[in-house]
Structure 1
Amino acid sequence: MEMYDHTGKAVTHGRARVNGIRMHYIRAGQGSEALLLLHGTPKTSYYWYKLIPLLTEHFTIVAPDLRGFGYTDKPPTTEGYDSATNAQDLSELMTYLEIDKFHIHGEDRGADFAYALAATCRDRVKSLSFCEMMVSGFGLEETSFWTEKNVTAQYRRDGIWCWHLGFFSIPHVPEMLIQGHEHEFWEMFMTQECYNPTAIETAALEHWVSCSMQPGGLRGILETYRAGFKNAAHHRALLEDGGKLEMRVMTIGAPEFFGPLVEQSIRRLAENVDRSEIFEECGHSLALEKPDRLAACLREFMLGAD
């Protein structure tokens, strides 16, 4: 699946050997400011196909497939899918690309890793856009509890029930139930998170489904969830050792998923949350459902530009 910049030029694909794996990434744009884009589940760097042409005039964009996803390696182990390891992957990727300082935009699982990267590389990260996620260890786990309030939250618009956190974390069982039904499962999983289900276009869905069917693809995705408690412990340690983030932080939530919980979570870890948005009539996939508004927010927040 190809992506194009604002001039119609295809992005550049590459593979970097970082932190013991081979990572696929795309690079585009010639802006003086570098922006690292980190996707969620079950997506890949192709998730940004609508957003990239709206940003490449202003930024140098780097967008990897995270460890376990897409064309990046999926090590045959239960270790290494945690946020500390992912932060090291991403730090080494930017060093490999000779980019010292950069902004980060992360959504979903990518936002969790974005926090870990920002807290680990405070001298390199210029600003953080933390979107449609709660930080592991700081509110995310509670959304998975089987309570009446959580289960009915979607009908009241005052919370979210992340039933999949526990399901994905169980060893072996999700693989048994999803394999052979990847298309049905991931279509249901992604469209139910959207305000407008047609935002998940067929070609993109088929790409992500096919990636999940690669050797190790489904297991790689699930291992990022099985690392959840390790992530929580790591994030608590980052806060204890380094204190709250001091760089500028923007949050964006959507009513069909995390909504105001995004800001509530990251404020426990960041001093300077100076912009918070709620995208009405939007769900969990901001870059697909509201690409123009998201691009404008990123430009305004990171560049001070309209």
Structure 2
Amino acid sequence: MHYVRAGTGSEALLLLHGTPKTSYYWYRLIPLLTEHFTIVAPDLRGFGYSDKPPAADGYDSATNVQDVSELMTFLGIDKFHVHGEDRGADFAYALAATCRDRVKSLSFCEMMVSGFGLEETSYWTEENVTAQYRQKGIWCWHLGLFSIPHVPEMLIQGHEHEFWEMFMRQECYNPTAIESTALAHWVSCSMQPGGLRGILETYRAGFTNAAHHRALLKKGGKLHVRTMTIGAPEFFGPLVEESILRLAEKVHRSEIFEECGHSLALEKPERLAQSLTEFMLGDD
């Protein structure tokens, strides 16, 4: 597992990225946090420079929780805060629900939990298709496509740059937030042997994740950990808080970043750093 470690703060903060990103996604955010936190930012399995094992080895949330929790143990960090965006937030919820004695606070951002609202965003309905333009949410058309075996690989291979540029920039309020250097890195990672498959397997594990999250709720009940949500009007918006409230006793801080899209750490890094610092180190 490839990871970045930075900062000298007494509080540890684990950052979990989304699709098709890597630990490089946090390049604008990390310098704003190193004064306050010891940052750990891994490339999740299947992404970046981390291993891309066969699908049978699992790309589900339970396996990713095992990966990152063992990484933190390896680094000698027992308790830590966690911030996740997109798919990383799905894993961050599962981590908080599995390692309840280790996660000090949860920042669940720009995602809906698998099994608790995410699947409905992919339904082909008039309301979903027009949701973004009516500022009522987002239509996640890609969930079904990415979960089909073999077909997305056939369509994307040979067009990785065009596809991921379109995919990431259409999620932004300001598409120029996706800089060419960063985009080139993520495209090159997706073109590594197993890179595209690793990305897509996280979607093919969607129903496994949903079942696992329902089991975590049944076993341990709702989360009691301090929880923050952040949504963006260009994507999930208020749906983020609605989803996690089905799994957490309370959302202690909830924000909507105006003039922002799905990539919070690239589009609003200063505001995100301030929110994380105030929430995790403050009393709210």
Taking structure 2 as the reference length, the TM-score comes to 0.99
Q: How does 1:1-306 map to 2 (within 5 A)?
A: 23-304=1-282
The one-character-per-residue Cα deviations of 1:217-261 (angstroms, maximum 9, x if unpaired) are 000000000000000000000000000000100000000000000
Query: In structure 1, how many angstroms separate the alpha carbons of the residues matched to 2:111 and 2:14?
Result: 17
Contact persistence 1:45–1:63 (CA under 8 A): yes
How much has 1:190 moved relative to structure 2?
Answer: 0.2
How much has 1:154 moved relative to structure 2?
Answer: 1.3
Query: In structure 2, how many angstroms separate the alpha carbons of the residues matched to 1:247 and 1:133?
Result: 18
Q: Which AA in structure 2 matches 1:44?
A: T
Q: Which AA in structure 1 matches 2:15?
A: L
Query: In structure 2, how many angstroms separate the alpha carbons of the residues matched to 1:160 and 1:26?
Result: 32
How much has 1:204 moved relative to structure 2?
Answer: 0.1
Q: The residue matched to 1:255 in structure 2 has which SS? A: coil
Q: The residue matched to 2:55 in structure 1 has which SS? A: coil
The one-character-per-residue Cα deviations of 1:63-94 (angstroms, maximum 9, x if unpaired) are 00001000000002244100000001011000
Taking structure 1 as the reference length, the TM-score comes to 0.92
Query: In structure 1, how many angstroms separate the alpha carbons of the residues matched to 2:248 and 2:258?
Result: 24
Q: The residue matched to 2:260 in structure 1 has which SS? A: coil
Query: In structure 1, how many angstroms separate the alpha carbons of the residues matched to 2:114 and 2:57?
Result: 17
Q: Which AA in structure 1 matches 2:134?
A: R
Q: Whose relative contact order is higher, 1 or 2, with alpha carbons under 8 Å and at least 6 apart?
A: 2
Q: The residue matched to 2:229 in structure 1 has which SS? A: strand
Q: The residue matched to 2:46 in structure 1 has which SS? A: coil
Contact persistence 1:78–1:223 (CA under 8 A): no
Contact persistence 1:169–1:223 (CA under 8 A): yes
The one-character-per-residue Cα deviations of 1:149-184 (angstroms, maximum 9, x if unpaired) are 001111100121000000000000000000000000
Deviates more, 1:128-137 or 1:146-155: 146-155
Q: The residue matched to 2:252 in structure 1 has which SS? A: strand
Q: Which AA in structure 1 matches 2:241?
A: E
Q: The residue matched to 2:227 in structure 1 has which SS? A: strand
How much has 1:304 moved relative to structure 2?
Answer: 1.3
Query: In structure 1, how many angstroms separate the alpha carbons of the residues matched to 2:228 and 2:54?
Result: 36
Contact persistence 1:68–1:220 (CA under 8 A): yes
Unpaired runs of 5+ in structure 2? none
How much has 1:275 moved relative to structure 2?
Answer: 0.2
Contact persistence 1:129–1:249 (CA under 8 A): yes
How much has 1:39 moved relative to structure 2?
Answer: 0.2
Unpaired runs of 5+ in structure 1? 1-22
Q: Which AA in structure 1 matches 2:148?
A: I
**4+ residue runs over 4 A deviation:** none
Q: The residue matched to 2:153 in structure 1 has which SS? A: helix
The one-character-per-residue Cα deviations of 1:82-123 (angstroms, maximum 9, x if unpaired) are 000000101100000000000000000000000001000000
Q: Which AA in structure 1 matches 2:27?
A: Y
Q: Which AA in structure 1 matches 2:210?
A: A
